[in-house]
Structure 1
Amino acid sequence: MKVLLAMPDGLQHRMFDRDQLERLAALADVDVERTAPDLSALDDAELAAVDVLLTGWGSPLVDAAALARMPRLRAIVHTAGTIRLVVSEAVWEHGDIVVTSATEANAVPVAEFALAQILLAGKRTLAQAARHREVRDRRREPPVSDRVGNFRSVVGLVGASRIGRLVAEHLRRFDLEVLISDPIVSAEEIAALGGRKVELDELFARSDVVSLHAPDVPSTQGMVTARLLASMPEGATFLNTARPALVDRDALRAELLSGRISSVLDVDDDLPADDPLWDVPTVLITPHIAGSQGNELRRMGESALEEVRRLAAGEPPRFPVDPQRLAVSA
């Protein structure tokens, strides 16, 4: 089985450690030290021999022209999450090419990050730390509200996505009420996750912490409206590890500048350097760190390696991408 690393130079050494690369080389005919950042630069004979493409962030688009030069191609194994920039419509039209993704593996650190921030938010950590920095004397601190803490407080999860489901499973260990809003997931499925299915209005109005886990698709853009944000209880926290396009950013900025609610924003990569949110003590802005980083990339590499093993053994893939679900997935 001929495998080609169709990815930017050096990416294989970020996604796989030495042991994983050795295991990959034992499974297939592959040069683990060589990548193909540009499929069009390869000669016809080399592409004609390829059975499997191993792709990742920044990989070339597999379009109709590339497919025409790879008659033996039977699988695209993606070491990252979304495949939208790698797999063209021509791949789905072909019908006989298996596409897998490491989305499940990438969901793990995002859910861990969200869990940590949810529990910290329950303690009103940002607001209390900001006040303590200003007062610098615990004896002068005012009494905390009875809504502070993680005993029977309310957490709202917007979206029962892969990440949303993992977060819900983590939250089962704590004395929390979990509300989940997702238009395509049944109340029974949500109950099995330990939550209760509600509409967005109830979720925002009741939750002490709201964590956003919906995909960025046309139907979800702008779903977190000014009205929903205004309905959040005073002192509540809004957590976004999804995408900024899902939120009315002007409305969120106004709420945060007022100090009425707090927020953890991990995906606002294009926030201008002079945006006033940088200086709000009850807003934590992190540089897209919830997803896989550092050694966590090897988890996605391990997921891809397992898919290659299954292909070599003639077994079905573990995490195939369903093209019918692309309209409702990230």
Structure 2
Amino acid sequence: MAALKRVCRFNVWINPVFDATLRAEPDIDLQVGDLQRPDSALQALLRAAHVFHVSPSRDELPRRWHVTDALLAECPNLLAVSSAGAGFDTVDAAACTRAGVAVVNQVGGNARSVAELAIGLMLAVSRKICVSDRLLRTQRGFSRESLMGHEIGGATLGLVGIGHTGRAVAKLARGFDMRVLAYDPLLSAEAIRAGGAEPVDRARLLAESDIVSLHCPLDDTTRGSFDAATFAAMKPGALFVTTARGGVHDEAALAAALTSGHLAGAGLDVWAPEPPALDAALLGLDTVVATYHTAGVTHEARRNVAAWGAAQIIGLLKGEAPPRLVNPEVWPAVLERRARLLG
């Protein structure tokens, strides 16, 4: 009889298709840990687990359960850590590689949703949609001309990062007749052109773009990379939009650039921390449209990433190479460990 394959997740909201798909597999035991229970109960689940399906949200998951060297040392049977989203901010991928543990994510599953919100933020800021909504609900005596904004059609859009989401944004932007530039140090000029954008260096993108939109990961190369000097290098009157990760941009520096008038507005879906404090300087500015890391939070996207995650885990436990493997160099070691643990 084949060994039982154990998958663990915690009781953070997930589309029901994830649990239903795994529970339809007779040789998979899915356990859902209650974060309100004592640490010892959750430790026991992880100690037995072959796969840990983890929330990618830094501020949603208690730090105790972020995947680090220390946590991995408590999980001798773990073959893989599966992120419940495109990002994996709660997972130290290098630590997993050292431990012989695969890291998989669901990159691309929410790309359309994130791209739609990015375009929505551009429209909301440029056309002053939220300001108009607030005024119409609370005041009278203002003119329509006081709410006059700008079209995004024909503007130059600069994408910092043109992976799955960046390409989806570029596709939507072409419907607005936007000129699309992109900077992505991980991709060749040919790949950037294939993604629907003109490849440029970072300095040119900042200088020429009417709107700069971030679609890069948060890592040691991007953390704090949009600082005061970067905002100063942007085109006067430009808009800044991010659906990437909080921490890539310096919030105080952005607030200063907006307050000075150098930048005309910002659309922000990501923060550090999340949610931001109610008295955060950026939330006090009418030139800012703020959302709560909801770019990828649609019914369609959440179903996609849940279904993809379940299918990838099933395949991985059968010994199939995962299609979204973050650390491919570890796969031979994972197969060896799988053979020992599962036969």
TM-score, normalised on structure 2?
0.74
Partners of 1:269 and 1:288 within 8 A in 2: no
Indicate the residue corresponding to 1:78 in structure 2: 83
Letter in 2 for 1:55: V
Q: Quote the Cα distance in structure 1 between the aligned partners of 2:158 and 2:14.
A: 33
Query: In the comparison of the two structures, how many residue pairs are matched?
Result: 310
Cα shift readout 1:33-52 (whole Å, capped 9, x = no counterpart): 643765774289x82xx544
Q: In the alignment, is the contact (CA less than 8 A) between 2:182 and 2:200 conserved in 1?
A: yes
Amino acid paired to 1:240:
T
What is the aligned partner in structure 1 of residue 173 from structure 2?
Answer: 171
**Partner of residue 310, structure 1:** 315
Q: Which amino acid aligns with 1:29?
A: D
**Which of residues 141, 149, 152 is equivalent to 1:150?**
152
2:14 — aligned with what?
A: 15
Q: Which amino acid aligns with 2:326?
A: V
Q: Take 1:191 and 1:198, find their aligned partners in 2: how far apart are those partners?
A: 10
Distance in 2 (CA, whole Å) between partners of 1:52 and 1:61 is 12
1:290 paired with 2:295, answer yes
Partner of 2:105: 101
- Counterpart CA distance in 2 for 1:124 and 1:209 is 15
CA contact (8 A) 2:8 2:32 kept: no
The corresponding residue for 1:56 is 55
- How much has 1:196 moved relative to structure 2? 0.9
Q: Matches of 1:52 and 1:276 in 2, distance apart?
A: 41
- Deviation at 1:130? 8.2
245, 254, 257: which is aligned to 1:255? 257
Q: 1:66 aligns with which of 41, 60, 74?
A: 74
Q: 2 CA distance for matches of 1:43 and 1:213?
A: 35
Query: What RMSD over aligned residues (CA atoms) do the two structures have, in Å?
Result: 3.6
1:107/1:295 CA distance change after superposition, 3 Å: closer
In the superposition, relative to structure 1, how do residues 281 and 255 fare at CA in structure 2: closer, same or farther (>3 Å)?
Answer: same
Residue 154 of structure 1 deviates from its aligned partner by 0.7
**Displacement, 1:237?**
1.4
In the alignment, what sits opposite 1:110?
A: 114
Give me the whole-angstrom Cα distance separating, in 2, the residues matched to 1:78 and 1:272.
27
Residue in structure 2 matched with residue 196 of structure 1 by the alignment: 198
1:181 maps to 183
Q: Which amino acid aligns with 1:65?
A: A
Residue 78 of structure 1 contacts residue 102 of structure 1 at CA under 8 Å; is this kept in 2? yes
Separation in 2, partners of 1:87, 1:283: 33
Q: Is the aligned partner of 1:279 residue 2:287?
A: no
In the TM superposition, residue 201 of structure 1 has moved relative to its aligned partner by 2.4
Match of 2:208 among 206, 209, 233: 206
**Partner secondary structure for residue 27 of structure 1:** coil
Runs (5+) with no aligned partner, structure 1: 325-330
Counterpart-to-counterpart distance in 2, 1:92 and 1:294: 33
1:237 lines up with 2:239 in the alignment: yes
2:124–2:289 contact (8 Å) kept in structure 1: no
Q: Which secondary structure state, in structure 2, belongs to the residue aligned with residue 316 of structure 1?
A: coil
Percent identical residues: 29
Q: How does 1:37-52 map to 2 (within 5 A)?
A: 41-42=43-44, 47=48, 50-52=49-51
CA distance in 1, matches of 2:322, 2:308: 10
How far did residue 204 of structure 1 move? 2.1
Offset at residue 195 of structure 1 (A): 0.8
- Corresponding residue of 1:327: none
- In the aligned structure 2, how far is the partner of 1:143 from the partner of 1:263? 16
Counterpart amino acid of residue 263 in structure 1: A
- CA positional deviation for 1:88: 6.3
Letter paired with 1:118: M
Residue 218 of structure 2: aligned partner = 216
TM norm structure 1: 0.77
Cα contact 2:55–2:90 (8 A) shared by 1 = no
Please tell me whether the aligned partners of residues 180 and 190 of structure 1 are also in contact (alpha carbons under 8 angstroms). Answer: yes
- State the secondary structure of the residue aligned to 1:242: coil
2: CA distance, partners of 1:137 / 1:88: 54
| Pair 1:267 & 2:270 matched | yes
Structure 2: where are the runs of 5+ without partners?
330-343
